[in-house]
Structure 1
Amino acid sequence: MTGQAPHPLNDATDAARTGAPAGRIYSGLQSSERALERHGRLVEAGLEVFGTTGYPGAKIKSLCQGAGLSERYFYESFESREQLLMAVYDQVASDLMRHVMDALQEPGLELRASVRAGMAAVVNFMLDDPRHARIILVEIVGVSPDFEAKRHKSMSEFAAESMRQLLLLSGLDPQTVHQQSAENPQDIALATALDFARLTAVSMVGGVNNMLLDAVLGGTTYNTERITDVAFQLIYNASTGIRALAAGESCVPAGEPTPPS
């Protein structure tokens, strides 16, 4: 937030300075474009304040100071601190997913390298800028039922992508096996493999999140390579069991209870 040029505080002041009617083009921007620009500055200020000071201790005055705006413009864009936090979370979560998908789709990588690149994208995005991890893993937790629903939806989306990668590592085409399972509900082996894959993906998202949280709270955000290695090893090891289940074999060691069918 440092080194930022001062910004006009309101349209009326802009108009008085330039002699232009309010609502007209000023500094090359329409009134609606200026409102959008102010919205973006508040979101950036929210990332900084919520990601460092934290949501409970954040004041609207501090958020406005960080954005270089008056409180009037805060309420032009947001009804409350919670609504701003929602906008910050949406932006960070969207940026994270974009980084992950870009890594997974990087041309020229074989499957295992692609999956590891996706893991690395998650870890690096969250730990290279710990504000990201704090927003996603700490500040939105328990704020409201709406936030909990949004958090669950976001985690479910990441779990679905993790499940897709897990199936690929298991030698199974995700679209094909889902279609086969729908067309052949009596195929218990396939249904079991898919259920195991889904629950494994859910547990992996939670496990990786906890590793990232441990790094942020424990001051080991530099440990990105090791965390990425562990995350990849988890999904790669799990793929062996999923492959066995899809073939109708047990993935439980001898002497252990057999998974329910």
Structure 2
Amino acid sequence: MSAEERLEERRERLISAAYTLYAELGFPDTTIEKLCTVARISNRAFYECFDSRDQLMMVVYGRCVRETLETVAQAVAEAPETLEDRIEAGIATYVRFVTSDRRRARILHLEVRRAGDCLTVSRQEAVAGFCRILEEEPGLSAMAEQAGVELRLVVLGMLGAMQELLIEWALAAEPLPVEPLIDTAVHIFRRTLAA
């Protein structure tokens, strides 16, 4: 392998180690030493790949967000044309994709908060990305206007409700069934716009 390929391979091992350790131990308790042990690299090699634990967390979180956004956008694009079907497809796909890997759920909904200021901008960008998917849905603006609410605030409230549902799921000692989470999120969204 070339030097660049070796560096990239180490980066990927660190990302993989962080994905597991940040979810299992939590971001605050995951030291660089633990990351390096799991990734089977030296501490010095860590700093050839990343400036800090915070930077590594930003990369891991960014990858989780990107994969989730792509999956949800594709599901919405492939859903039947009715607004209701597209909303349900987006919510169901989001919940199922995030819960398909407990580590992803914990990173996206728990560790992002525990990481503190280093992820504030990344988190705001992620929320904006999910808001855009919903705000671009034809018909939602009219429904929000008819309900007398501002669509962006409804979307932010919906995202907040989904985050709390997924935090509950991630913290449960025994995995909770996913379908009730989806049904609840869809119900909240429908009732908000129908109010």
TM-score interval for Structure 1 and Structure 2 normalised by the shorter chain: 0.7 to 0.9
What one-letter code is carried by the residue in structure 2 that aligns with 1:88? Answer: V
Distance 1:53 1:117 in 2: 33
Of structures 1 and 2, the one with the larger relative CO (CA 8 A, separation 6+) is 2
What is the letter of the counterpart of residue 124 of structure 1? R
Q: Unpaired runs of 5+ in structure 2?
A: none
Q: Distance in 2 between matches of 1:42 and 1:49?
A: 10
**Could you tell me whether the CA contact under 8 Å between 2:28 and 2:114 is conserved in 1?**
no
CA contact (8 A) 2:140 2:151 kept: no
User: What amino acid maps onto 2:101 in structure 1?
Assistant: D
1:72 to 37, 41, 44: 44
Q: How far apart are the structure 1 equivalents of 2:123 and 2:6?
A: 31
Amino acid paired to 2:181:
I
Q: How big is each residue's C-alpha offset from its partner over 1:200-224, in whole Å with a ceiling of 9 and x where there is no partner?
A: 1111100110011011112354421
1:207 aligns with 2:179: no
Aligned-pair CA distance for 1:55? 0.9
Partner of 2:172: 218
What is the TM-score normalised by the length of structure 1? Answer: 0.67
Is 1:153 paired with 2:107? Answer: no
User: Residue 53 of structure 1: which of 25, 31, 40 is its match?
Assistant: 25
Tell me the amino acid that sits aligned with residue 229 of structure 1: D
Write the distance in 1 (CA, Å) between the matches of 2:140 and 2:191: 10
For residues 1-261 of structure 1, the aligned pairs below 5 Å read: 26=1, 30-106=2-78, 108=80, 110-141=82-113, 143-165=115-137, 168-169=139-140, 193=148, 196-219=150-173, 221-241=175-195
The 3-state SS of whatever aligns with 1:55 is coil
Q: Residues 20 and 103 of structure 2 are in contact (CA less than 8 Å); yes or no, is this contact kept in structure 1?
A: yes
Tell me, in whole angstroms, the C-alpha distance in 2 between the residues paired with 1:81 and 1:147: 12
Deviations 1:149-203, CA, capped at 9 Å, x for gaps: 22122123223323334x535766x9xxxxxxxxxxxxxx68x95x522211111
- Structure having the higher helix fraction is 2
Shift of 1:50: 0.3
% same residue: 28
Task: State the Cα distance separating 1:109 from its structure 2 match.
Answer: 5.8
| Superposed displacement of residue 51, structure 1 | 0.8
Q: Greater Rg, structure 1 or structure 2?
A: 1
Cα distance between partner residues in 2 of 1:201 and 1:162:
7
User: d(CA) in 1 for partners of 2:190 and 2:136?
Assistant: 13
Within 2, Cα distance between the matches of 1:87 and 1:200?
A: 29
Tell whether the 8 Å contact from 2:135 to 2:141 is kept in structure 1 after alignment.
Answer: no
CA contact (8 A) 1:163 1:197 kept: yes
Does structure 1 conserve the Cα–Cα contact (< 8 Å) formed by 2:79 and 2:85? Answer: no
Q: Shift of residue 142 of structure 1?
A: 5.2
Q: In the comparison of the two structures, how many residue pairs are matched?
A: 195
